[in-house]
Structure 1
């Protein structure tokens, strides 16, 4: 850590020295017709590599210029571009205020932009700038997604240290974790609305992805402490255009995509966008394949000068062969061929998810805005395949013999969200305020049908006789039908108070009430078992932000979240929720005219009342628990982003995390929690040639490091001679390369992933894991119109 900090410090000094060699500077301010500063406007010095992005006040500064005349172009989405001529004849020139006129033919960008890297995340709800936010936040831009030719959430997360894929259960989902905590469907969002993450996510409709690390409970209620992910889908535009393309690659990948947008009619008040894709592919694993269909239509209505309406739909249908792997015997990793599949060939996981969201925005007055979101979502899944290796009754023997069983379950969920937010900026005396207050209600209606698992056949994982595998699909009897309605209500208020330009305080609190019910109908006995659990909690948040300059920020924060608990105490009463405390301090820097970002964050997350099996009176029923455990997560994160010219962009980061039991009646104090690497790191670069014989060519690389972590199961101290143990998995480094060439309206691109063909594993169960994909490629041809 010391060496890394020294390297960063030396690099910053070098960049500062190099920029100081030329001393001519231009400073200016860009505003709209109401004299309001435009944040995120682009200012370009033509015929040079100099540019800037305006800050929240609309101001910009460009340094390192020579004494001569320049043509400057100023542009902002939704406004007419403006060109001005400037002659530099002194060290610093302050330009007259630059006014941009609104262009009704273009839709203002819905995502509020900050600097070229530090975009303000929509997930903050209040529009708080990254430098004013007392927590770590990252926005993966559309440009990065396109440059890196991403094809999965795994690809996108190669840019987010400390947020990673911890597992790929059955190969039909990507399980995300952050800071030692699992980010399930409660922590994953699309356009601010929870979406079901238990299936693969199609990336062709993604505009950008936001990651808020740490607690976001004040904004969203019952979420894990590690953070939230918010996917922003592509939005309508008033200028007509689009793309069509086709991608092919390893494992017989075939994927056509389309994206078209434009105005409806001549009124310039209604716009649309419709994008989608179809993908079919095999796998590097024998007998494994997938098929995905995706559509994402949206419409934007400019009802009047103060009111807009955005209507979005999102549909995905995904079918793929479940693959639970088979790589562990007696808590030891065994060497199997990478391509070897030992599941049933006929197995399938069918999943569909459809969502519709209406977002109404209304400007009540200057600096006051009201947002109403109404969203419905439905998903249904059916899993019919073999059970996981090493589950009860299906342990793999030392000689490789495995008695396979078959499982089947079906699930469906109807979800409704209604959310109303009021946000505004105002002053009281010497204090400035950026206020957010809101209310939300959520209703889940989930039903899960489980069948009785049955014994199927015996195979040997070391020598699978595929030709003689049993291939008939058995009849199965229904076991239980579980109905689990959940109702959640939240009320929250938050205020960013500024004493001056240098000291700010973010404070807020949320009240959440949750009613969780469960009704289990057992078919064999025709009986119902009904339970109700009522939880409520206050989750506060406090943050102090010190800003010695407009491009530097130092913060310290405390936040609290809660986690509901299943099971009962020794007296049969429902368990209280576990409350989780998080402390975080950090430094954020935007240097060299906001071309370089250098951020450092240190955090500690403590769940001091973790639910664990009660040992009172010799109890062994794992459903009877007590709040006696404690888990603590500590870590540090470093993020660096640098764009020295408009042609070159660099991203890098490092994360250290340690999540362990600090108090427990079940495990060993000090034991690490499974699945979480201590170290992750990333570095990527992309360079675009803009002149000469190579004009139109882009080259890039993406490198990731994933540290050692553990599979298996933690040893239980209360079990005599317990056979459970942790299984260490080695660290690995992965390298991807990209190449793209654009000629007129055509772009030909290619990507080579896992260049060094490294072998490692994704953990998806205590005693089973899947190898990561070997070296593979994809190529695409795209036409832009």
Structure 2
């Protein structure tokens, strides 16, 4: 083992030193572009006249161009509506030349030309990918929903943002206090949901007011992260500190007495050029379209940026949220038919609640070793506590509407730690270029779950015009079990994007993961403890080929293998082995009309050929009725196609659209009907949004938008079991629906007003978990946001 580690570091040392020698004669240029008032300008095209090298300024007006041959070069700055500026810059070998520019207004009208400075969908690098690879060079489908979209659409919940993504969707919202995400037929658990690159507990609604962008990587990401579901991953990127002083205050008002003030402040600390801060905060309170359902939330997100040098920076980020809302398990079903109740009807007890507290802290260190090599380290800590005290899910509604309500209570206390180090670099072997990622990560969960005994509370009839609680007290429930479940993971991975030429690129990578999973269940009444443990490791390979006949088109294919852990034991009492999943993906990416429109098509197949299912027989050949005894006897196959369209702003218009088809079904099973669909996943989803911004007229500052989402028919309920004679389980068909939202906004100097109408058509459908958490979607609702920015 020691020799392997030594060899690993020798390889890194060789690559770094080799690269330093190969590129000793090159340097870099960094700078900032502002307007005449000193405000930073985003999306400015900065190019070097003598070469094809260039960059685009970020939201802080900053840019960086690497690998420039030493000597004098000519920088060209271009942006619509501003005068083009040229400037001579001396580049020194192995050094970073710094220069800043101020652009003046020109005569071009924004509404008359294409804004080519904005990055297209195929140019935006996703930070969750750990290495800077443009989507056009990546044999994988990715998507970014940026701040402009989030602000225009007044995104309140993550589900609002996902209206702009196809193939990734909300599959349920059990209890009304979470949004269960899925992609390509597979659920995204907390292992697939990230915030600033660290796993985020998704059993609650994330706060979106602090989010800069939402990143989605579809398909396999097993090489980058251990133990992730097959459908993909989602990363929430928060707003970062800035050195220039500024901020905003806003107030959002909405239907059902909703209000939400938001504060966002940033700037340097005491005028320092090395330390900057940012702090976001909000308070939220409101009722629901559901009777007797309400919520209240407090959220704070502070961060600090330390620029130790031109090459080294440290970002510290904190996160605190306290959220309390009514636990609402919906309207239930009667004999696997959705109960015919008004959308607003609440059948739980009025005092039901779900309380959560979540705190997190992240530290990220980035060090630019030289022009071509960078090392990054991330450490994260998260604490999560929740308490659920409410009626149980309505599973036994009688045909006449009678429901015996029982009470449940549970508490969760989870601590999570993560550490990660990545080395990325570029070098050449002859004419072949390499873009390398080498890294290691560790993470650890320690989850303590306390469950209480349940008790019958009362009996109601859900069809009564007004449900009158016969009781209003909160009963004392005895502690039943205390479960402690520590999980420890470690991984080592390496990946290389090899560019044989401008047209052919090959991606190869391999990850080794090791995981320890333990469980200790204390039954309080008997003081008996049951313990179990499992130790698993796996290799996850990734291979991909990209062919680019020209700079505006790319074809790709990829293969990857991942694993998912299983609970339970085999017929001999041994912990069940992980299930291995194979994924194949083919696609085409295009930049049409000279880069104005990104148009991508992806087809894929995901197959779990050793799915864990309840064993039919025990080790003695007798029929098995213990659901914890399992065998790798099933198979699930997901197949689909996705189409994405996204334009740059053109003549004031911008467009996003997409379509996905997915079929996820049992292709082998000893329990369920072969060919039956997995629950909660629609075959068809589609999305589109169009925005128009007025400029150069009396209506300058006004913008209009429409967003539409089609969510296809899917099934919930319970799959019919082949192993049970006259099985009463049935599937519930959930209707398709189309949701259309409209928005209008007006900007005047530092003020803005935005209005939104969601679900204009007042469409009716449901998010369903099993047959007992049947939650109606929200009706037509209104919101208004007034903001002041400086």
User: Shorter-chain TM-score: what band?
Assistant: 0.7 to 0.9
Contact 2:30–2:62, Cα closer than 8 Å, also in 1: no
Q: 1:75 to 1:166 in 2, by over 3 A?
A: closer
1:463, CA displacement in angstroms? 1.1
The C-alpha deviation readout for 1:741-784, integer Å capped at 9, x for no partner, is 11121111100000010111111333331110000010011001
1:124, CA displacement in angstroms? 0.7
User: Aligned residue for 2:390?
Assistant: 385
User: Aligned residue for 1:674?
Assistant: 679
Does the alignment pair 1:762 with 2:767?
yes
Contact 1:270–1:299, Cα closer than 8 Å, also in 2: yes
Does the alignment pair 1:783 with 2:788?
yes
Q: Pick one of 42, 46, 62 that aligns with 1:78.
A: 62
1:113, 1:742 → 2: CA distance? Answer: 20
User: Aligned residue for 1:13?
Assistant: none
Q: 1:686 to 1:56 in 2, by over 3 A?
A: farther
Q: How does 1:39-438 map to 2 (within 5 A)?
A: 59=52, 77-78=61-62, 102=98, 115=120, 118-390=123-395, 395-438=396-439
1:595, CA displacement in angstroms? 1.6
Q: 1:310 to 1:468 in 2, by over 3 A?
A: closer
Contact 1:41–1:75, Cα closer than 8 Å, also in 2: no
The C-alpha deviation readout for 1:311-353, integer Å capped at 9, x for no partner, is 0111111100010012410011232111000001001000111
2:357, 2:227 → 1: CA distance? Answer: 25
Contact 2:29–2:99, Cα closer than 8 Å, also in 1: no
User: Aligned residue for 1:586?
Assistant: 587
RMSD (Å) for aligned C-alpha atoms: 2.8
The C-alpha deviation readout for 1:515-538, integer Å capped at 9, x for no partner, is 000000001100000000111100
Q: Pick one of 665, 668, 674 that aligns with 1:663.
A: 668
User: Aligned residue for 2:39?
Assistant: none
SS of residue matched to 2:159: helix
Q: 1:366 to 1:117 in 2, by over 3 A?
A: closer
Q: Pick one of 741, 749, 752 that aligns with 2:754.
A: 749
1:435, 1:381 → 2: CA distance? Answer: 41
Q: 1:162 to 1:283 in 2, by over 3 A?
A: same
Contact 2:520–2:531, Cα closer than 8 Å, also in 1: yes
Contact 1:629–1:664, Cα closer than 8 Å, also in 2: yes
Contact 1:300–1:308, Cα closer than 8 Å, also in 2: yes
Does the alignment pair 1:466 with 2:467?
yes
Contact 2:410–2:451, Cα closer than 8 Å, also in 1: yes
Contact 2:329–2:772, Cα closer than 8 Å, also in 1: no
1:54, CA displacement in angstroms? 6.9
User: Aligned residue for 2:71?
Assistant: none
The C-alpha deviation readout for 1:533-567, integer Å capped at 9, x for no partner, is 11110011000011111221110000111110000
SS of residue matched to 2:409: strand
Q: How does 1:370-769 map to 2 (within 5 A)?
A: 370-390=375-395, 395-463=396-464, 465-616=466-617, 617-645=622-650, 647-769=652-774
Contact 1:38–1:54, Cα closer than 8 Å, also in 2: no
SS of residue matched to 2:128: helix
TM-score scaled by length of structure 2: 0.87
1:347, 1:140 → 2: CA distance? Answer: 35
1:53, CA displacement in angstroms? 5.5
1:75, CA displacement in angstroms? 9.8
SS of residue matched to 1:409: strand
Contact 1:39–1:56, Cα closer than 8 Å, also in 2: no
Q: 1:360 to 1:302 in 2, by over 3 A?
A: same
2:688, 2:659 → 1: CA distance? Answer: 9
Gaps of 5+ in 1: 1-32, 44-50, 62-71, 87-92, 107-111
User: Aligned residue for 2:19?
Assistant: none
Q: 1:85 to 1:258 in 2, by over 3 A?
A: closer
1:731, CA displacement in angstroms? 0.7
1:403, 1:497 → 2: CA distance? Answer: 64
2:530, 2:568 → 1: CA distance? Answer: 13
1:55, 1:733 → 2: CA distance? Answer: 44
SS of residue matched to 2:400: coil
Q: 1:399 to 1:508 in 2, by over 3 A?
A: same
The C-alpha deviation readout for 1:261-318, integer Å capped at 9, x for no partner, is 1111233111110111110010000000000111111010110121110101111111
2:63, 2:472 → 1: CA distance? Answer: 63
1:74, 1:495 → 2: CA distance? Answer: 27
SS of residue matched to 2:62: coil
TM-score scaled by length of structure 1: 0.88
2:224, 2:57 → 1: CA distance? Answer: 39
Contact 2:303–2:315, Cα closer than 8 Å, also in 1: yes
User: Aligned residue for 1:18?
Assistant: none
Q: 1:155 to 1:692 in 2, by over 3 A?
A: same
Q: 1:515 to 1:40 in 2, by over 3 A?
A: farther
Contact 2:120–2:647, Cα closer than 8 Å, also in 1: no
SS of residue matched to 1:218: coil
1:97, CA displacement in angstroms? 8.4
Contact 2:277–2:305, Cα closer than 8 Å, also in 1: yes
1:774, 1:73 → 2: CA distance? Answer: 41
Gaps of 5+ in 2: 1-24, 36-42, 65-74, 92-96, 103-116
Contact 2:221–2:232, Cα closer than 8 Å, also in 1: yes
User: Aligned residue for 2:109?
Assistant: none
SS of residue matched to 1:376: strand
SS of residue matched to 2:160: helix
User: Aligned residue for 1:15?
Assistant: none
1:317, 1:234 → 2: CA distance? Answer: 20
1:365, CA displacement in angstroms? 2.0
